[in-house]
Chain A
Amino acid sequence: MEPTIVWSLIAGMALTNIIVRATPVAVMSRFELPEALRRWLSYVPVSVMSAMVALEVFKPSDQWRVTLANPYLLAAIPTALVYRFTRSFLGATIAGIGAFLAFRYLLG
């Protein structure tokens, strides 16, 4: 592919990305935010994570899998339990990968 095009693409993407990611931090960290907005923002992480898990588990790779024979869904259960009792993200991630491989093998 034409090098100028590829490098322009990379530069353009790098620029738009940093603008989108840095502007709210740069602007909003300077002011004391109104209570309602802070409250709203405090619910963003739990909502994002729950939405993410729902999509990853029931619609992995953009394919619906609304069935119990779903290794993503089944593997999420031991992952959650391992985190609940060990409080280790890494431990839970590794346990989850192991469980996923096992369920995928068992379910064919």
Chain B
Amino acid sequence: MPETTGSLSPTSASRFLRGVRLGMPVFLGYMPLGMAFGLMAVAAGFTVAQATACSALVIAGAGQYLAIRMIAAGGLATTLIAVGVVNLRYLLFSASIAPHLSGVPPWQQGLLAFTLTDETFAINAADAREGRADRFSMLGVGAISWVGWTLGTLIGSLAGSAIGDPNAWGVGFALPAMFTALLVGQLTGKREYVAAALAAGSALALSLFVQRDWALVAAAIVAATVMTVAP
């Protein structure tokens, strides 16, 4: 995306910090989810170091939950294939964010790709739509999200069942709330409303037949395709 280089442009540090602020809702949502993962991983036989390393290196919510459920019963190969399949949706997200990252140094592209999740994608895509996102703000969003997920896992795996159920504080609604706000931000014109309606309807209908992640990806593909070919 266009980056102004004039002397009045904010410094890279202030743009990074803007991203950190932008990513706070993700942090808020990831802490309890990370804690839940830490708890489950330790219960499944992971050490604190293994659980935390898993979150720090993988950052894949649904994929990680699936892995600890599968690894106990299934083999290593089956588990890896299943996790890979669950994470195929990132191909789509990565492709969608790619046009904004031309001219960004490969190591920064790498870091951005590493912190690409449903939530960071949504925040950055919404910010890009307003013409504000740049690589530093995106790195800030990624960094604070990574901290939330990893720190949450560390706390969850250390504390064990002592922390109780984080859902009692309503944090289970943090990510749905964030997505609702992001959706409102994306609804800028008639075509966007049509795309949103198509995607929502297709996702719910498809979820009758296939697993949630697949319903999500298929619905997005259906809606984007219809909007592209429709006059």
Q: Which A residues lie at the B interface, using CB under 8 A?
A: 1, 3, 5-14, 16-18, 20-30, 33, 36, 38-41, 43-60, 62, 71-72, 75-76, 79-80, 82-84, 87, 89-90, 92-98, 100-101, 104
Whether the Cβ atoms of A84 and B184 lie closer than 8 Å is: yes
Which among B24, B126, B169, B177 is the interface contact of A75 at CB below 8 angstroms?
B177
If A29-B99, A54-B204 touch, does A44 touch B212 (CB 8 Å cutoff)?
Answer: no
Tell me, yes or no, whether B174 is within 8 Å of chain A by CB.
yes
Interface string of B79-97 (1 = CB under 8 A from A): 1100110011011111111
The closest CB in chain B to the CB of A1 belongs to B45
For residue B163, which residues in chain A have a CB less than 8 angstroms away from its CB? none
Question: How far apart sit A49 and B198, CA to CA, in the bound complex (Å)?
Answer: 12
Q: List 20 A-B contacts (CB under 8 A).
A: A13-B67, A14-B58, A20-B90, A20-B94, A25-B98, A40-B224, A44-B224, A45-B125, A46-B192, A48-B118, A48-B216, A52-B179, A55-B212, A80-B181, A80-B184, A92-B177, A97-B174, A100-B170, A100-B172, A101-B170
Once A1-B46, A28-B98 are accepted as A-B contacts, the answer to whether A13 and B202 lie under 8 Å apart by CB is no
Please, which residue of chain A has its CB at the minimum distance from the CB of B70? A9
Contact A47 B177 (CB under 8 A): no
* A77–B182 CA distance with the chains assembled, in angstroms: 13
**B 53-84 to A, binary, CB cutoff 8 A, 1 in contact else 0:** 11001111001100100011000100110011
Contact for B101 among A6, A29, A33, A38, CB less than 8 A:
A29
Q: Of the candidates A10, A51, A60, A80, which one forms a contact with B220 in the assembled complex, judged by CB atoms under 8 Å apart?
A: A51
A11: chain B residues within 8 A (beta carbon): 57
Give the docked Cα–Cα distance between A57 and B95 (Å): 27
Lowest 3 CB-CB distances: which A-B pairs, in order? A96-B177, A1-B45, A51-B203
Tell whether A18 pairs with B186 under 8 Å between CB atoms, given A93-B177, A100-B177: no
